[in-house]
Amino acid sequence: MEKAKINAFQLLEKVRTDKPVIHHLTNWVTIYDCANVVKVFGASPVMAHALEEVAEMSAIASALVLNIGTLTVDFIQAMKIAASSANKKGIPVILDVCGAGATALRDKSCLEILDECRINIIKGNASEIARISGLDVKTKGVDANIVESDLKELAKELASKRKSIVVITGQEDIVSDGHNDYVIKNGNAMMGDIVGTGCMAASVIGTFAAVERDLVLAAASGLVCFEVASECAVNKSQGPGSFKEKLYDCIYFLDEKTVNNMQKVYR
Contact footprint for a copy of itself (CB under 8 A): 19, 21, 27-33, 35-36, 39-40, 44-53, 56-57, 60-61, 69-73, 99, 102-106, 140-143, 193-196, 237-242, 244-250, 252-253
Question: In the complex with a copy of itself, which residue's Cβ is closer, 131 or 244?
Answer: 244
Closer residue to a copy of itself in complex, CB, 101/222? 101
Residue type, 68: I
Q: Minimum distance between the CB of residue 85 and a copy of itself, rounded to whole angstroms?
A: 11
Following DSSP, what letter does each residue of 214-262 receive, concatenated? Answer: -HHHHHHHHHHHHHHHHHHHHHH-SSHHHHHHHHHHHHHT--HHHHHHH
Q: How far is the CB of 162 from a copy of itself (least distance, A)?
A: 23
Give me the least distance between CB of 244 and a copy of itself, in Å please. Answer: 7
Alpha helices in the chain (DSSP H): 8-18, 31-40, 54-59, 73-89, 104-116, 126-132, 151-162, 197-209, 215-236, 240-252, 256-262
State which residue, 3 or 16, has the beta carbon closest to a copy of itself: 16
Q: Give dist(CA 17, CA 42) in Å, integer.
A: 8
Least separation in angstroms between residue 124's CB and a copy of itself is: 15
Amino acid at 46: V
What is the smallest separation between the CB atom of 50 and a copy of itself, expressed in angstroms?
Answer: 5
Comparison of 143 and 256: residue with beta carbon closer to a copy of itself: 143
Q: Which of 153, 178, 154 lies closest to 165, judged by CA?
A: 178
Specify the residue, 94 or 216, whose C-beta has the smaller distance to a copy of itself.
94
